[in-house]
Structure 1
Amino acid sequence: MVASTLLSTILSVGLLGLQASAGPIASSRFRTSLQPIREDDLSSETFKFNDLQRRSVDDSMDNAIELLPINEDDLIPPHLRKRSDDLSRLDLKENVKMIYGGVVSKSQIYLANMTLYQPDDGHPLIMMERFDGLLKDVYCGTQSITLDFHHKDAMDYAIKTWDWVNQDSDDHFFLIANHPGCGEDAQRNPYKVAKVQYDQETFRTILTTEAIEWNTLASDFDISLGSANLEKRVTKRSLKNSDITKRGFFDIFTNFDFGKSVYWDLTVGDKNTRKTVMSDPFKSYGKVDINCVGCRLSGGLQVTGYVKVVKFAVTELYIGAKPKNLRGTIGLETILRAAIPPGHLSVDATLFSLGIPGLSIPKIFLLGPSLQYEVGAGFGSEGVVNLTVGATATFPDSAALYADLLDPSKSEGNGFEKTTIDPFFSLNSVSVTASALVYSKPLIAFGVKVLDRIGVECALEINLPMLNADFKAGYNKEGFCPDDSTIGNRGITTGVKASSTANIELWFKAGKYSGIPNILPSFNKKLWGASWPIGEFCYPIPIGGLGPVIPNESIPSLPVDTVNAPVESK
C-alpha cells in the first residue's frame, strides 16, 4: 500500500528495539537506562503554531513547488513501454495512476505517486494522456471535447469501449485531460462524460462533457511522496520545472526508484555564528550578556509521506523521516555580574528561521514545511559568572521516525540509541556556586491540506540537546584536583568542580485539525528520549581566596570524550 521502503522499515522494527554500548567519560557507574516512553508522555494539551511558525508555514505553502503531470510512460524504460498505438489504452479503468513532479534544486526532483479510484461502481475513469498516441488532434470546448483519431481501428475500439454511456441518461464516465486548451494549463483537469458521438468517415469522436472540480471526483485516492536525484551531467545546466514533463527526460535515470525519500536540508548557522540572545540589565542584578557562539544545525531529514482518502474522508495520513548527517551544536557564552538566585533568569530566542520547499498538487494536496531553530537557557549563581556551556549532538543515520497524524498512539521513533553527545565547558570565572541549563530546540513545523478542505498543523520538535551543568568553587589543602592529568596542577589547592547531565527528547505535535471529525483537537507525543549523566570534572584554578575571580587568561575547554547513548538496562 505504501510505496516508500522507509515506512515499511519503520513499522517492521520494534520501538526502542536496538541497543548501543555506552562510552562513559568517567566510569561505568554513570551508565543509566533510557527513559521509557510512558502513558503521560502522550499529552492532549493544546498545541498551536506561534506567529512566526504560522507565517513560515504559510509562506512555504504560498510558495510551494507546483508539481506538474508526468506521463507514466516516461518513467518506464523505452524497451518495456506499451506501444503508443496499443488499442487497450482506450479501456476504461476502475483506477488510474497519476504521477506528478517538480524541480526542487539542481540535484533533486519532488515526485508524487497518486492512485485515483472510481467514485462508485459503474462510473469508471480514463486518462487522455494514456491514449494520446492514437490521436491526431484534440479540441476542448465549454461543453464538449473533440477527439480526432489517426485510423479506423482506433475509432472502432473507442465505439466498442465507450458507447455504453449512450444507453442511459444517468450513465457517465470520467475523463482526465492534460492537453493545451483543456482546463487549467499544464495540469490535469477532470471532466464528466455523459454522451459520445462518432463520425465514421473522419474518425472523429465528440464527447459531451462537464468540467468538474477535483473535490467532486476525488472521493477515493492515495498519494505517496518521493523524489529522484539528478545525475551530474544534468545538474550542469539550468533546469526548469517544465523540463521534467518533456518526453524522454526520465530516460537519464538508469535506476529509477520512486520509493526514494525527499531530502529536507536543515542546515543553518556555522562554527563562526555569534548571535546575541540577551544583552540587557536584568532586574536589580545588573547587565547580563548571553551570546550563542557556534550555534548551528547541519544535515537534514529524508522524508516520505502517505495520505489515503476514502469517500472524501482522510483515513490515513502519516510522515516518516530518517536523519541524514544530522548534527546540532549549542554553545552559550554567559556573563553574570552579580548573584542571581536559581530559577530567576531564563531566556529563549529563535536564532534562525528557514523555509523548506513545499509541494503542491493544485486543488488536491499541499504540504508546507519550515524550520525554526530556538535556543534557551536558565542560570543561577552566588556571584560573578563568566563561562561557556554547550554540546554537540549527532543523530545516527540508521534512526527513523514515524508520525501518524490521525492516530498518535502509532507514532514512534527507533534506532536513536546510537546518538552521541560531545559536551564542552569553558570557564573564565565562577564564584562559589553556579548552575546552567542550556538547550537548542529545532522545530520543523508543517501544514497539510487535502482537497482544499481538510487540514492539519504539525511539528517535529527536537530538544537537541538539553544540558544541565553545576559548578562549585572550593579549597583542598591536599590539592583540589589530585587526579589532574597535568602533574603540576595536582598541588593547586583551589578550583572548580563541574557536574553535568544531558537529555535529548523528540516530540511530535499536532493541532488545529479541520475537516477531520472524531479526533483529538491536539496532541503532543514523545517519540524518543534519553538521559546522559556526563559526570564530574575538576578544574584546578589558582584562587587567592574564594569569591569573584576573573583570571588574566581564559581557561581552555576541558577535553571531553564523545558520550554515547547509555545502554538500556535489562
Structure 2
Amino acid sequence: MLRRSEFLLISVIEPDGQPVGLAKMTVYTAKGEWIISMESFREMLETVRCDDRTVVLFFKSNASFQYAVHAWKWVNEDAENSFIMVVNHHGCGDGTYGTQPYNISGIRYDEQHFATYLLAEKLSWREAVHTFDLDFTNNFGYGIGARQLATYDKSTTLSLTNDFSQDLFSEDIGEVTISVACTDCTTEGGMVVSVHVGVSIGNLEEFTISASPKDFIATMELQASIEATLGSPYSWRQKITSVELGGFTIADILTLDSTLDYYIGFSVSAWQSFSAVTFGTSATLSDSAVAEIDLLNIKHSNFSGWAPTFQPLPISASTRVSGDMVAYSEPALTLHLTVLGIGFEAGLDFKLPEARIHLEGFASDKEVGINVETTLDVTLVAQVGFAGVDLVEDPIYNNSWPPTKDTIGITPDSNSVTDVSGFPRKGVTCPNKGGEKVIIPRNGRGGLRVPVLNSIGRMAVTLEKETESKFGSSLWEPEKSNGMTCPRFQDRIG
C-alpha cells in the first residue's frame, strides 16, 4: 500500500474558495521515506474523520480493514517509523476542497468497527514533498478516474472579455483642437493557462507556463476630430485601464494572479483641413496558437500559431482631408506567480495591430473623395522575470502587411458642418438629389459649403462656393430657398 513515488490530485482553488480544476502531482520520496494518497484506496472506505491530531478511517469490510492492518503494522514497531498520507476529503485540510498531507507516526485499531485511528501531524506541502512534478491543465490524459474529473468541470480559462470604449482625450495644440474617442474598443474570449513545476530536493528546476487563446478577438475603432490644419506631428499613448482577472492557488506550492492592462496609442502628422475621421480593425487569434514560456530561461520558450487574422472596419471622414494617422490597441496580460516562495512575472503583450492610414483628398468634375492607404503592423511579445525586476522580452510574432488601397466618399453631418475655423454657422435648407432637405451651412468666409453626391450616389464632400471653378460650374445651377442660394444637383452627379 505504501510507495516510493505517488500520483496525487490536488485541488486548485480560486480566491473565493471554489475549485477551478485539479493539479496533477507526481511525488518522489527519498530512501527511507514512504507516501500514500488516500485516493488510491478510497473505494475501501466507508467514511473519514479528521481533526488536528487524528485521521480516522472507517473501512467498508473486515477484509479491507485487515489489509490496512497488515500493510501498516510496521509503523508501531519503532518510534521513528512514519509515513506521509495525503488526504483529500471534506473537512480535512484548509478549505472545503483542501488536499492535506499528514505525517502518520502511530496507529490504533478498532476491529469491531473496522476503524483505524492514525496519529497524524499536519504538514505543509513544502515540508511533505521535496522532489515532485506538478502540472495544472485540463488535458490530464490517461490515469485520471472519471469520478475525479466529473467533480471538477470548470475551465482553466482566464476571461479577457472587456469593453474599453470611452472618450480618450481632447487637447489644444496651439490653435488646433484634437479630440479622440474609442468608439468600439473591446476584447473578447479568454486565455487558457497551464502550469508545469519541477522540483528536485527542494530546488526549483523547471517552471513553464503554456498559454493559448480561446475565441479571442480584439477590436479597435477610433474617431479622431482635428479642427484645423496641424503643422507639427502629435502623438499620445496611455494605459486606459487595468482589470483584475483573478487566479488560483495550489496548496502552499503555487499561487497565480493575473491582470489585463489596456493601452491605446495615437499619432497624427501632415494634417490638412478640419475633419472627423473614423477607422479601425478587428483582429482574431487562432485557438491553436500556443506560447510555452520557460520562466527560468526565456530563450527555451516556444511559440507557434500566433499569426492573427484581420477584419478592417469601415473608414469614414466628414470632409475632404489629407494627412497621416497611426493608432493601435495593446492588451497586455500579466501573470503574477509565486512558487515555493519565489515571485515571478510573465506577460503577453499584443499590439493588435498598429494601423497606419495615409489620407489624400481629391476632387474632379465627376467625383470627390479620399484615397486611403492602410498598413498594418503586428507585434506580439512575451516577457518573463523575477517579480520586482526588469523583465526580459522575447518576440512571439512580428509582421507587417503590404499597404492596401481604397477610395472612400465623405459623410458630412447633415445638420451642422463645422468650418475650418472651428465655429459652426447657421445655414439654409436645400433639396438634395433625392428630394430630401439638407442644411447647407455658411463657411467662415460667407460662402456656402455644399454637400454633393459622389459617383455612387453617397454624400461625398462639402464644396465652397468661392472655389466652384475647381470642380466645374455645371455643379452650381442655383435655385432660391429662403432667400438664399442653393445648388442644384445635376443628374450626372451620382
Q: TM-score, normalised by structure 1?
A: 0.63
**Pair 1:138–1:381, CA change in 2 (3 A):** same
Is 2:86 aligned against 1:176?
yes
The unaligned stretches of length 5 or more in structure 1 are 1-89, 229-246, 481-487, 515-519, 559-570
Match of 1:434 in 2: 323
Please name the residue that 2:437 is paired with.
none
* Alpha carbons 1:339, 1:380 under 8 Å: kept: no
Q: Distance in 1 between matches of 2:287 and 2:50?
A: 51
Residue of structure 2 aligned with 1:530, choices 399, 402, 421: 399
Change (3 A) 1:291 1:144: closer
Shift of 1:557: 11
Structure 1 residues 96 and 394, CA, compared in 2 at 3 Å: closer, same or farther? Answer: closer
Change (3 A) 1:133 1:461: same
SS of the residue 1:165 aligns to: helix
Deviation track 1:405-426 (CA, whole Å, cap 9, x = no partner) reads 2221132332344623525422
Who is 1:217 aligned against? Answer: 128
- 2:5 is equivalent to residue 131 of structure 1: no
User: Matched residues in 2 for 1:553 and 1:114: separation?
Assistant: 69
Conservation of the 8 A alpha-carbon contact between 1:95 and 1:124: no
Match of 1:372 in 2: 261
Aligned equivalent of 2:220, options 311, 330, 343: 330
**More helix, by proportion:** 1
Q: Partners in 2 of 1:395 and 1:389 — Cα distance?
A: 21
CA separation in 2, counterparts of 1:436 and 1:285?
19
Tell me how far apart the structure 2 counterparts of residues 94 and 274 of structure 1 sit (CA, whole Å). 53
Q: How does 1:115-264 map to 2 (within 5 A)?
A: 115-135=25-45, 138-179=48-89, 182-186=92-96, 187-198=98-109, 203-227=114-138, 262-264=156-158
Question: For 1:74-127, what per-residue CA distance to the aligned partner results, in whole angstroms no more than 9, with x for missing partners?
Answer: xxxxxxxxxxxxxxxx4445213215366999xx98322322414422211122
Specify the SS of the correspondent of 2:70. helix
Q: Give me the whole-angstrom Cα distance separating, in 2, the residues matched to 1:342 and 1:552.
A: 30
- Taking the aligned partners of 2:229 and 2:205, their CA distance within structure 1 comes to 56
Change (3 A) 1:319 1:430: farther
Q: Equivalent residue for 1:281?
A: 172
Q: Within 2, Cα distance between the matches of 1:101 and 1:366?
A: 10
Q: Which has the larger radius of gyration?
A: 2
Q: Which residue of 1 aligns with 2:335?
A: 446
Matched AA of 1:504: V
SS at 1:160 equivalent:
helix
Q: Deviations over 1:41-79 (max 9, x none)?
A: xxxxxxxxxxxxxxxxxxxxxxxxxxxxxxxxxxxxxxx
* Alignment root-mean-square deviation, CA: 3.9
Distance in 1 of aligned mates of 2:116 and 2:43: 15
Q: Distance in 1 between matches of 2:410 and 2:311?
A: 26
Report how far residue 281 of structure 1 moved.
2.6
SS of equivalent to 1:295: strand
Counterpart Cα distance in 2 of 1:145 and 1:380: 73
Note the C-alpha offset of 1:531. Answer: 0.4
Cα contact 2:2–2:34 (8 A) shared by 1: no
Q: Per the alignment, in what secondary structure is the counterpart of residue 401 of structure 2?
A: strand
| Residue in structure 2 matched with residue 63 of structure 1 by the alignment | none
Segments of 5+ residues of structure 2 without an aligned counterpart are 140-145, 412-419, 422-442, 444-448, 461-494
Conserved? CA contact 1:392–1:421, under 8 Å: yes
SS of residue matched to 1:533: coil
1:67-86 → structure 2 map (5 Å cutoff): none
In structure 1, distance between residues paired with 2:390 and 2:168 = 34
Q: Give the distance between the partners of 1:394 and 1:179, measured in 2 at CA.
A: 43
Counterpart code for 1:393: A
| Residue 104 to residue 368, structure 1, CA distance change in 2 (3 Å) | closer
- Corresponding residue for 2:161? 267
2:385 matched to 1:511? Answer: yes
Whole-angstrom CA distance in 1 between matches of 2:225 and 2:245: 35
User: TM-score normalised to the size of structure 2?
Assistant: 0.71
CA distance in 2, matches of 1:416, 1:185: 39
* Counterpart for residue 284 of structure 2: 394
* 139-148 or 172-181, which deviates more: 139-148
**Native 8 Å contact 2:247 2:257 kept in 1:** yes
Residue correspondence of structure 1 range 394-473 to structure 2 within 5 A: 394-417=284-307, 419-422=309-312, 424-429=314-319, 431=321, 433-451=322-340, 453-473=341-361
Does the aligned pair in 2 maintain the 1:225–1:261 contact within 8 Å?
Answer: no
Counterparts of 1:448 and 1:173, CA distance in 2: 31
Shift of 1:443: 1.2
Which of 290, 310, 329 is the matching residue for 2:200? 310
Alpha-carbon displacement from aligned partner over 1:416-440 (angstroms, at most 9, x marks no partner): 4462352542222355x42211001
SS in 2 for 1:429: coil
- Residue 183 of structure 1 and its aligned partner are, at CA, apart by 4.2
Asked if structure 1 preserves the Cα contact closer than 8 Å seen for 2:93 and 2:100, the reply is yes
Helix, strand or coil: the match of 1:374?
strand
> Structure 1 vs Structure 2: percent identity of aligned residues?
23
Quick one: which of 180, 185, 190 aligns to 1:295?
185
Aligned residue pairs: how many? 414
Change (3 A) 1:287 1:304: same
Match of 2:273 among 384, 405, 411: 384
* AA in 1 matched with 2:182: C
The reply on whether 1:96 has 2:7 as its aligned counterpart is yes
Distance change (3 Å), C-alpha of 1:142 and 1:497: closer
Alignment of 1:28-107 (within 5 A): 90-92=1-3, 94-100=5-11
Structure with a larger share of its residues in strand: 2
- Pairwise CA distance, 1:251: 6.0
Residue 142 of structure 1 deviates from its aligned partner by 4.2
Query: Aligned residue for 1:231?
Result: none
Equivalent position amino acid for 1:468 in 2: R
Measured in 1, the distance between the counterparts of 2:136 and 2:452 equals 55
Comparing both chains, which one has the higher relative contact order based on Cα–Cα distances under 8 Å and sequence gaps of 6 or more? 1
Check 1:341–1:163 CA distance in 2 against 1; reply closer, same or farther (3 A cut): farther
Letter paired with 2:220: I
| C-alpha distance in 1 between matches for 2:136 and 2:45 | 32
**Distance in 1 between the 2:274 and 2:122 partners?**
71
When residues 214 and 250 of structure 1 are mapped into structure 2, their CA distance, relative to the original with a 3 A threshold, is closer
Which letter maps to 1:220? T
**In the superposition, relative to structure 1, how do residues 148 and 383 fare at CA in structure 2: closer, same or farther (>3 Å)?**
closer
CA contact (8 A) 1:277 1:349 kept: no
Cα 1:207/1:92, change in 2 over 3 Å: farther
The one-character-per-residue Cα deviations of 1:348-402 (angstroms, maximum 9, x if unpaired) are 341x544434222332322222323322201123443422232222333443332
Paired amino acid for 2:172:
P
